[in-house]
Chains A and B, each alone.
Chain A
C-alpha cells in the first residue's frame, strides 16, 4: 500500500523508507504490513478457490487431475485460515488495540515485529511444497494416517507441518503481546469494563490462541516425528491411534474458529453503534458472552468427530448446542443496538450488517450440524462447506472489509470512496450468496466435499455447481472495485480529518494517521465511549444518560 502517505514525513529520516518499513517496530506499521501481507495470501488462496470452482463447474476432469485438485483445496483452506483470516484480524488488532486503550505501542515491540515476519516465512514454506514434488494434499485438517509417511511420502506435507509450526509460533507470540499490552498498557481511567468491545474480543481471542495453538504444535511435532523419525503416534500398523490426531487437531481447531470470528464480532460491535448513533446494547452481557464462548469453545471439539464412532456424543452435542446461546445474546445485542437508532448505511455499516445477516445463516447451519444424528447425514458434505464459508466468509471476511473501510481514514487520513465501496459490497454480497447458498442444498442431497468430480447424471447438482462457479467469479470481480478504491484513495482520496465517522473510541481522539507515539494528549476516559463523551461534554442530557455529570467523574 502507498507507503509514501503513511510514513510520517519521510524527509526526517535518513534511511530509505523500504528499510524503515522492514526494520520497524512501530505497531501501526507492523499492523499495516500484517494487513497487506494477509491480503496477498487472500488473493493467492482466492485464485486457488477459483481453480476449484472452475473444475467443479461441470462434472468430469477439465482443468486438473485429482492430485492437483486435492492440493488446491488443501492449500486454499490452509492459507485462507492460517495466513489470511487469522493474521488480517491480528493486523487490525495490532494497529487499533494500542490506540483504543491509549497506549503508545504494544508491550513488546520487537517481539511484535518477529511475530509478523514469521508469517510470510511460514506461508512461503507451506506454498513451497509446490516446488518440491507437490504441495500437501490431505485437506487443511491433515487427517492421519493419510498424512503419515506411508500415504503421503512427499516433502510437501513436511513443509506444510513446518510452515504451520512457524505460523503457530507467530500467533502465540502475538497473543502474548496482546494480552500483556491489554493488561499493562491501558491509559488512566481505561478500566477493563470501559475497554472497547473490540479490545475485549482481541483479549479473549489471544487467550484462545495462547491455550489452543500450542496443542496443535505438539500434534504437528508428533506427526513430524512419525513421518521422519519412525515414530508411531498415529500409525495404526505400529500401534498408534489415528483418532488421536483428530482429538488434538480439533482441540485446537474448534477454538481456532472462534479465534477468527471473535475479533470480527468485535469490529462489528464497534461499527454498529457508531452508525446507529447509539451505545452498544448490553455492553456487559456482550463481554460475558464473549468470555462464555471462549470457555465453551474448549469443550465442543468432538462435534467434528461425530461419525468416528468413538466419541461420547451426548456431551459434545450438548456443549455444541449450548454455544449458540451466548452467540445468540450477541446477535440480539446487535439488533437492539440498531433498534430505534439513527442508522446511516455507509460502506463499513453495510459490511457490518452483512456480517450479522450472513453469520446468522452460518450459525444456524452450525446448530443443525450439532444435532448428532443429523450430522451423521451432513458431515463431510457440501452442507459443511456451506456452513464454514458462511461463518468464515459471511462472518470474518465481511468483518475484515467492514474494518478496512472503517479504519482506513484512521490509517491514512483519507476516506475510501463510498460509491465504489457500495459497488464492492453489493457485488460481493450477491456473489457470496450465489456461491455458497446452493451448497446447503448440494450437501443435503448428498454431495460429499473434497471431490474433484461428481455424478454426471445428476442435473440438479450440475446446475447448482455451475451457479456457484459464476458466484465465485462475481466475488473475484468485486475485489477489483475495492483494490481500485484503495489505490485511487491513497493517491488522491478525500481528506476527511481525524474523526470522519463521529466515532466513540479513543483511536479517534488522535490525529489521522496518528503520530509515531500515538497520542499528544488523551481525553479523560470515564465510560466505554470517551470520544463520544468528549463530543457531547456540554450536552447535559446525554451525560446523565451516560451516568456522568458535566464536571466529569461519577
Chain B
C-alpha cells in the first residue's frame, strides 16, 4: 500500500484570502489581554464587594475625575482617532499623512503617560495603603504599562514610516499596532468609568 504513489500535483500554496495572518495573531493576542484585564477587574470587583461600605481611597483622600483624569481620557480617545486617520492614510497610500498621524498618536500617548505619572505623584497614597489602593495602582499601573508598550510599538512604526516602508498594499504592521492601540484605549475607558464614576 504505497502512499508514495501519489499522483496529485504538489499544491502547497495556501489561500491568502481573509485577514492577514499577523492580524489574526494580533487579534488572538488581544483576546488573551482581555482575559488578563478581566482577571484584574474581577479582583477589583471582588475586593469592592467585600468592602461595600468603606470602598475608596484611604485616609480622606479623594479620587477626582475632574480635571486630570478626564483630560487624560480625552487625550487617549483622541489618540485612537488620530491612529485611525493614520491607517486610513496608508490605505490610500499616503505616506506623508501616515507619518504625521502616527507621530501625533505617539505624542498623545506619551502625554497620557506623563499625565498619569503626575497624577500618581498627587494622589497622596501608595500601593500598600489598603485594598483599594492596591487594586487602583495595579489596574492603572498595568494599563499604563500597556500604553507604554503601545508607545514603543508606535515609535518603531514612526521610524519605519519615516523610511517609507509602508505602502497601500503592504502595511500590516500599521493595522496591527492600531488594533492594539484601540484595545488599550478601550481598557482605559472601562477603567475610567469603573474607578471614577462607579461609586
Contacts and interface: CB of A to CB of B under 8 A. Distances in A.
A contacts B: CB pair < 8 Å: yes
Nearest to A241: B50
A498 interface: yes
A521 B10 contact: yes
A103 B14 contact: yes
Contacts of B12: 102, 104, 187, 517, 519, 522
Contacts of A36: none
Contacts of B50: 239, 241
Interface string A182-225: 01111110000000000000000000001111111111011001
Contact of A179 (B3, B28, B33, B46): B28
Interface string B141-168: 0100000000000000000000000000
Contacts of B38: 214-215, 218
A241 B46 contact: yes
Interface string B6-19: 10111111110010
Interface string B37-49: 1111011001100
Contact of A215 (B15, B18, B21, B36): B36
B3 A176 contact: no
Interface stretch (A129-137, A227-235, A300-308, A391-399): A227-235
A326 B131 CA distance: 41
A524 interface: yes
A244 interface: yes
A214 B14 contact: no
B42 A210 contact: no
B127 interface: yes
B8 A523 contact: yes
A4 B24 CA distance: 37
B138 A225 contact: yes
A287 interface: no
Contacts, number: 151
Interface centre among B6, B24, B36, B142 (most CB of A within 10 A): B6
B14 A176 contact: no
A447 B24 CA distance: 50
A261 interface: no
Nearest to A213: B32
A453 interface: no
A488 to B, nearest CB: 27
B28 to A, nearest CB: 4
Given A211-B35, A214-B39, A233-B135, A519 B128 contact: no
Contacts of A222: 40, 43, 138
A211 B11 CA distance: 35
Interface in A530-549: 531, 534-535
B126 to A, nearest CB: 8
Interface string A397-425: 00000000000000000000000000000
B196 interface: no
B121 interface: no
Interface centre among B12, B47, B51 (most CB of A within 10 A): B12
Interface string A241-259: 1001001100100000000
B14 A186 contact: yes
Contacts of B3: 498-499, 508-509, 523, 531, 534-535
A534 B130 contact: no
A172 interface: yes
Contacts of A183: 24
Contacts of B46: 241, 244, 247
Given A107-B21, A232-B134, A233-B47, A215 B35 contact: yes
Given A215-B39, A233-B43, A522 B32 contact: no
B24 A180 contact: yes
A238 interface: yes
B128 A107 contact: no
Contacts of A175: 28, 32
A398 B89 CA distance: 56
A238 B130 contact: yes
Given A187-B14, A232-B134, A509 B28 contact: no
A29 to B, nearest CB: 20
A520 interface: yes
A172 B28 CA distance: 9
A96 to B, nearest CB: 17
A120 interface: no
Contacts of B142: 221
A115 to B, nearest CB: 12
A244 to B, nearest CB: 5
Nearest to A216: B39
Given A214-B33, A215-B36, A522-B11, A535 B131 contact: no
7 closest Cβ pairs, A-B complex: A230-B128, A218-B39, A521-B10, A214-B36, A215-B39, A231-B134, A214-B35
13 contacts: A185-B21, A187-B14, A188-B11, A213-B32, A217-B36, A218-B36, A218-B43, A221-B142, A233-B47, A244-B46, A248-B39, A520-B10, A522-B12
Interface of B: 1, 3-6, 8-15, 18, 21, 24-25, 28-29, 31-33, 35-40, 42-43, 46-47, 50-51, 126-128, 130-131, 134-135, 138, 142
Given A179-B28, A241-B46, A498-B4, 10 more contacts: A172-B32, A176-B25, A213-B32, A214-B35, A214-B39, A218-B40, A222-B138, A231-B134, A233-B131, A517-B12
